[in-house]
Amino acid sequence: MGSLRTKDLSKIGYHNDQLRSLVIGITSKNFKHHSKQQLLELLMEIKNDPEAFLDNELTSKIAGKIIGKVEGPSFKTYELRNEPVFCKTYGGKGIEQSAKKQMELASLLPVSVRAALMPDAHMGFGLPIGGVLATDNVVIPYAVGMDIGCRMALSIVDESDSFIKRFEYQIKQALKNHTHFGMEGGLDIRQEHEILDSPVFNEIPFLKPLRGKAVRQLGTSGNGNHFVEFGEIELLANNTLGLPAKKYTALLTHSGSRGLGAAIAKQYTKIAMDSCKLPRHAQQLAWLDINSEAGQEYWLTMTLAGDYAKACHDRIHTNLLRVLGLKALCVVENHHNFAWKDKLVDGKEVIIHRKGATPAHEGELGIIPGSMTTPAYLVSGKGNNDALYSASHGAGRAMSRQKAKDNMTVSGMKKLLANAGVTLIGGTVEENPLAYKDIETVIAAQHDLVDIQGRFYPRIVRMNKE
């Protein structure tokens, strides 16, 4: 039989999400030998006269759900494990207890296989930031997070580090004219990118109205810790990029999938929480079976959001380098807040969720930023199995945003920046350098996970101003 899709069911008047998942589940199991056409005709008959189908064991659940008499098992209830699965923690001394507790809860899910906690970890929503979780054939939308596919991108430029001092004015103008931060508006010049032609926008009904905003926000950055910065990068001898060991000018960006990713996260977290019931304190970790229609839809939309985040970085880098007459010698990118299909060393296939943690397979390049006044590290992964082939995604916060606000004045922050030789455009005290853990300690805690290839020092930074 041709498999039934949500949109086939919408066309014949099945509009309720739970009803559609129920129909797809039952028909794919019990009606394998019906053609798609026969199935749709049967479903129309059930819809028009549900009472007539209540006695048949195969159709009674669908009919009952339509009438609303029988709740039917539209959701399943699960218990947590008695013992958490194995979780390896790196740099545990510097990790707050609440983040460890949060990771332990995720390790008690019946679908969890293994877990790991990175040294930049702190408490988040769903999984802690810095949390890595391998599951068995399910994806947890809230463990991927709201800013799906948030990523770092680094362009190493064909200029020495003196370029920044010589052209400081031009760089500042370029940052003011060709980047945009915050929730509202977009760039003055409409951005083009093939991602906007993705068929997924049309295939999944709830995405259709989001495309307009995605067009407007293309090439822009969000709030909080998202940034676009020029700085100098010092590459070490024998780096795996194959570039001479010296100082270069570089452009480093950090941002994600904007409104698109957040809307997808909300939609599928709700679907997961409606269909998979867990004890209340674990309910937000509800999952979708990867083979269910909702699971496959989420995977498609998550991938779209990740590609969209990459497209935003592509536009930012292209626009800035072009207006400054610069050429990239090489570009390194990596992303977090995502789920990947992968294999463990023992050959077991799993889904690895990395919430504020980055992939670090053998030889895989990544960027681990510190703060505005400390270096970002260019690293190459060692493929450590205990860490689920992961590394930290930054230094990690040492203070909540509120605490950072209460503990720093604007003039105090200006002093810190001046002492480090950094110019800031925009930005808030919530992102002040002391709000972050010490990057050197965080890097030292993961020498089993990554090799250092170079250090990037921020010089001119642009962030959102509240």
Where the chain has pLDDT below 70, the residues are: 1-2, 69-74
- Identify whether residues 188 and 321 lie together within a single domain: yes
44 located within any domain: yes
Q: Quote the pLDDT of residue 72.
A: 44
Residues 313 and 179 reside in one and the same domain: yes
Judge whether 231 lies within some domain.
yes
* Containing structural domain, residue 414: 151-256+302-334+357-463
In degrees and rounded to multiples of 5, residue 55 shows phi and psi of: -85, -25
> What is the reported pTM?
0.84
Answer yes or no: is 31 within a domain: yes
Last residue of a domain, one of 47, 74, 101: 74
Q: Which of 144, 148, 140 is nearest to 288 (CA)?
A: 140
Is 342 contained in some domain?
Answer: no
Does the residue 122 lie in any domain?
no
Task: Look at residue 435 and tell me if it is in a domain.
Answer: yes
37 plus 168 within the same structural domain: no
Whether 323 and 435 share a structural domain? yes
CATH number, domain with residue 371: 3.90.1860.10
Is residue 438 situated within a structural domain?
Answer: yes
Q: Quick one: 63 and 169 in the same domain?
A: no
- Report long-range pairs for 169-173 (Cβ below 8 Å, ≥24 apart): 170/324, 171/230, 171/324, 171/460, 172/423, 172/425, 172/460
313 shares a domain with 441: yes
Is the same domain home to 66 and 167? Answer: no
Residue that terminates a domain, selected from 59, 74, 89: 74
Question: Model confidence over 99-147: pLDDT tens digits?
Answer: 999 999 999 999 999 999 999 999 998 899 999 999 999 999 999 999 9
Do 58 and 182 reside in the same domain of the chain?
Answer: no
Q: How many residues does the chain have?
A: 466
What is the per-residue pLDDT across 306-359, written as a single tens digit (0 to 9) for each? 999 999 999 999 999 999 999 999 999 999 999 999 999 999 999 999 999 999
Same-domain pairing of 241 and 365 = yes
Cβ atoms within 10 Å of 148's Cβ, excluding its own: 31
Residue 308 lies in a domain: yes
Say how many Å lie between the first and final Cα of the chain, rounded.
Answer: 54
Q: What is the DSSP letter of 94?
A: G
Are 66 and 163 part of one and the same domain? no
The DSSP element (H or E) to which 357 belongs, if any, is strand 357-359
Domain boundary among 74, 90, 113: 74
pLDDT of residue 1: 52
Total number of domains constituting the chain: 2
* Shared-domain flag, residues 451 and 319: yes
